[in-house]
Structure 1
Amino acid sequence: MQRLARMEEKEGSLHVAMFPWLAMGHLLPFLRLSKLLAQKGHKISFISTPRNIERLPKLPSNLSSSITFVSFPLPPFPNLPPSSESSMDVPYINQQSLKSAFDLLKLPVTEFLRRSSPDWIIYDYASHWLPSIAMELGISKAFFSLFNASALCFMGPPSSLIEDFRSTPEDFTVVPLWIPFESKIVFRYHEVTRYVEKTEEDVTGVSDSVRFGYSISESDAVFVRSCPEFEPEWFGLLQDLYQKPIFPTGFLPPVSEDVDGEEEDATWVCIKEWLDKQRVNSVVYVSLGTEASLPQEELVELALGLEKSKVPFFWVLRNEETLILDGFEERVKGRGMVQVGWVPQVKILSHESVGGFLTHCGWNSVVEGLGFGRVPIFLPVLNEQGLNTRLLEGKGIGVEVPRNERDGSFDSDSVADSVRLAMVDGGGESKRANAKMMKGLFGNKDENIRYVDELVGYMRSKGSSH
């Protein structure tokens, strides 16, 4: 019986090409989905640039023959420092240049698809030019959204994205006309304006709105990294807005092999030694992502707020960020640890002493934090992070650091109060309980497999038009 099942699986196996955007928060979920597909007997060609492929965790031996990494050098482009291949290598003001360099991969990717003739190409929002190429080559195509359903609904139907009709910051601070039910999922003024001015000098290429519009409109199906159990009304609306098959992938929670590696051992040993000395659920992990930096004055307020909170914390800073605050590390010694550079985030979040996560609320980090039941403290910085914050707050999950509506500034007291409310105060008990409940949804690997099974069933039925 088992042999028959294996034979059937082999006969129905697909060749799937994966093409994520050049950001670790996109590469890793694409790789996670690749592994789940490979476990089901499908062949994967994972396309990216050399340095990004090197950064990915090593494949488990049982999947190494099923997943092939296809490497294309990123063409040089003005404003990009040498060897910049990921959003984490490039200052935020130059992100559009990175997208323009990414667009120059069109020719080698087209040649690869023509040569290898996969059944499916699963692609990201940035490669708006890819679906039309896939159609010419007779390859089925799916847009894989690493944004949740509510954020996609706020962005709107493909036609409005392609027209890029929202032109003022105020347009983004109100509920769009196409949302037929009550919603508080909107941007704050500062979340829209703060980084716009910084990127205006670098308006090369195609806007994100247009990229999303074509990626969605020209796809055969849309895969979404979320599930209807978590945001039922938004999945229903998304179906109406897109008028095409929508498949949840589940949350794709990371698994242990995603984060193992010799190179991180020394860093992890040092961090684990410190975490082991802290009480269970007592530490707040602080990380604001790899793409945008806070201004120095806000870094100082964040530091002073963590100090004032009296709550143990582990704070990871980006390489180029420096915290100039006399005596800070000495004053928090033993209670607070500051680490500069890369850290194994999933391992830290999985440690029993960690109870909370002060986060920029990128969807990847939300999934990782809630997958371990850690209560989030929100400090959104850019992209759709403000929308994620409103979604979670509306469900009674987490605490947002209060900020000035216009300029986004905050002070140390608002940080301290938010951390204490989330971590220790009686008023935050329900927030902590709700976050723990989310572990059963966000960290549920079995449920995840069920969604991927349904998605594979669709992909097999559609096949490709070779």
Structure 2
Amino acid sequence: MGKTLASPHFIIFPFMSHGHTIPLLHLATLLRHRFIAVTIFTTPVNAPSIRDFLRDASISIIELPFPKDVHDIPPNVENTEKLPSMSYFYSFARATKLMQPLFEQALSALQNPPTCIISDAFLGWTQQSAQKIGIPRYFFFGMSVFATTMYQLLGIERPHAETSSLDESFTFSSFSWLKLTRNDFEPPFGDLEPKGPAVEFMMEQGISFSKSRGMITNSFYELEPRFADYFNKHLWPKSWCVGPLCLAKRAMISQTDETWMQWLNNKLTEKQPVLYVAFGTQAEVSAEQIQEIAKGLESSNTCFIWVTRQNAMEHLQGFENRVKNRALIVKEWVDQNGVLNHKSIKGFLSHCGWNSVLESICAKVPILALPFMAEQHLNARMVAEEIGVGLRIMPRNGSVRGFVGAEEVEKMVRELMEGEKGEMVRKKVKELGQNAEEAMKEGGSSWSTLDLFIDDACARKL
């Protein structure tokens, strides 16, 4: 009897952070639609929310205990959202490596041998695990090709070495129309001689990138064709654009019992356009900055729904009461896709996390960019200057990074919601939103790239 070929079995290991996990759960759903067995690895604290999100018993979930008594990490924290501050991030990310022995034991115990590992870019140690059993590892990088390209080129070409200040502009040889500054890059990566825990950690991940088979990118070719082509021609490893992954699960706008949904429905009935305001779960925004944003929103006379942390409102005495007739402040998690796809939403004041940018484009809602951390400043440039789906609030100091005044918030909110520039970006985001839908349909660019990726993974034996 000839040996029967095992059916494809893809291992997915997300990083323990909401924004890193959700796109990979969408990818798991797409793989199941193509009849590929999928096993997701996570920790006990994260497993319930993953099960609840997937609602698919055919996707296996294996729980590995998160390392205990790790220096610098508070007890029982298994997700970056629960860290006291982002200063703990790299200690948390490094601690995941202690899971490697248990991960490898679990892999060897699987009845259906794994075909490949798809793991978050921050879990670089999984490359060694894949190598040990002779299968390819692909890493998921939750950034645009644009931002990934800019960061790689900064290290390769080093044009910023010729600058004398953080705000002096420079260009890259292949993208001469782009005027960037060192402040567009998250410190310390824009420094002339970057060093510290963040740099050391990313250098470690860079070694694993170079050994990986490829990069899974949550983007679509039509959104950034010049950068996708350049990356796959000149940089490494190969990038597979298989997004926007949020379209794998269409927004369900049926939770009529939700307070925010009822409020938005009322605004729709009143024919009042609404601005959605949210800055993600990771950004640490100062009390002074929150006060300026609130003051600008109040002065704009725009209807808005602001999803924020409970403690953010502590510094805004009387604010909720003053804006109660045209605003809703939500201090709990909401389905962002559901909000953005509501017909009353006509703009999104956003930190420009990449997931939020994609969700806004897919909902055909223009963005008002107010970046805070990570690669968000590059995303803001991309949104406002490169693809034209939004406007940007600029700091008072003339830099791209700094304190934003209430008057600028008010002015740009009005421009997005009522102005001529707002109308232009609204038209462009509708066009790109349509392109996103086409990319994910059968025969579309992302659909076809996912097929090619599956073929690549199934053909590889190291």
- Classify the TM-score, shorter chain: 0.7 to 0.9
Structure-1 residue corresponding to 2:76:
83
Structure-2 residue corresponding to 1:129:
125
3-state SS of paired residue (2:72) = coil
Distance 2:155 2:178 in 1: 23
Is structure 2 residue 65 aligned with structure 1 residue 69?
A: no
Structure-1 residue corresponding to 2:213:
220
CA RMSD of aligned residues (A): 3.3
Judge conservation of contact 2:302–2:414 (CA < 8 Å) in 1: yes
Is structure 2 residue 344 aligned with structure 1 residue 353?
A: yes
Judge conservation of contact 1:253–1:368 (CA < 8 Å) in 2: yes
Is structure 2 residue 324 aligned with structure 1 residue 333?
A: yes
3-state SS of paired residue (2:208) = helix
Judge conservation of contact 1:253–1:443 (CA < 8 Å) in 2: no
Distance 1:172 1:47 in 2: 42
Structure-2 residue corresponding to 1:344:
335
Is structure 2 residue 304 aligned with structure 1 residue 310?
A: no
Shift of the alpha carbon at 1:126? Answer: 0.9
Aligned residue-pair number: 443
Distance 2:243 2:220 in 1: 5
Structure-1 residue corresponding to 2:288:
297
Structure-2 residue corresponding to 1:451:
449
Structure-2 residue corresponding to 1:368:
359
Distance 1:393 1:272 in 2: 29
After TM superposition, the structure 1 stretch with the greater mean CA deviation from structure 2, 391-400 or 306-315, is: 391-400
Shift of the alpha carbon at 1:188? Answer: 5.8
Shift of the alpha carbon at 1:187? Answer: 5.2
Judge conservation of contact 1:187–1:387 (CA < 8 Å) in 2: no
3-state SS of paired residue (1:321) = helix
Judge conservation of contact 1:379–1:401 (CA < 8 Å) in 2: yes
Distance 1:158-1:105 versus aligned 2 partners, 3 A rule: farther
Distance 1:12-1:74 versus aligned 2 partners, 3 A rule: closer
- Structure 2 spans left out of the alignment, 5+ residues: none
Is structure 2 residue 25 aligned with structure 1 residue 31?
A: yes
Judge conservation of contact 2:66–2:99 (CA < 8 Å) in 1: yes
User: TM-score, normalising length from structure 1?
Assistant: 0.86
User: TM-score, normalising length from structure 2?
Assistant: 0.86
Judge conservation of contact 2:370–2:392 (CA < 8 Å) in 1: yes
* Residues 210-242 of structure 1: CA deviation (Å, up to 9, x unaligned): 144123201112222112221111112212333
Distance 1:380 1:323 in 2: 22
Partner AA of 2:131 in structure 1: M
3-state SS of paired residue (2:46) = helix
Distance 2:428 2:300 in 1: 22
Judge conservation of contact 1:217–1:242 (CA < 8 Å) in 2: no
Distance 1:244 1:195 in 2: 21
Distance 1:300-1:195 versus aligned 2 partners, 3 A rule: farther
3-state SS of paired residue (2:176) = coil
* Residues 107-155 of structure 1: CA deviation (Å, up to 9, x unaligned): 2112222333411001111112221331121011112222111111112
Is structure 2 residue 13 aligned with structure 1 residue 15?
A: no
3-state SS of paired residue (1:150) = helix
Which of 97, 100, 103 in structure 2 is aligned with 1:103? 97
Structure-2 residue corresponding to 1:415:
409
Which of 416, 429, 433 in structure 2 is aligned with 1:439? 433
Distance 1:337-1:240 versus aligned 2 partners, 3 A rule: same
Structure-1 residue corresponding to 2:234:
241
Which of 233, 253, 262 in structure 2 is aligned with 1:273? 262
Is structure 2 residue 186 aligned with structure 1 residue 192?
A: yes
Q: Which runs of 4+ in 1 moved over 6 A?
A: 194-197, 257-261
* Residues 363-408 of structure 1: CA deviation (Å, up to 9, x unaligned): 1011111111011000111111111111121222201101132761
Judge conservation of contact 2:383–2:391 (CA < 8 Å) in 1: no
Partner AA of 2:220 in structure 1: C
3-state SS of paired residue (1:51) = coil
Judge conservation of contact 1:375–1:435 (CA < 8 Å) in 2: yes
- Structure 1 spans left out of the alignment, 5+ residues: 1-9
Structure-1 residue corresponding to 2:87:
93
Which of 140, 147, 150 in structure 1 is aligned with 2:143? 147
Distance 1:23 1:259 in 2: 23
Shift of the alpha carbon at 1:78? Answer: 2.4
Percent identical residues: 26
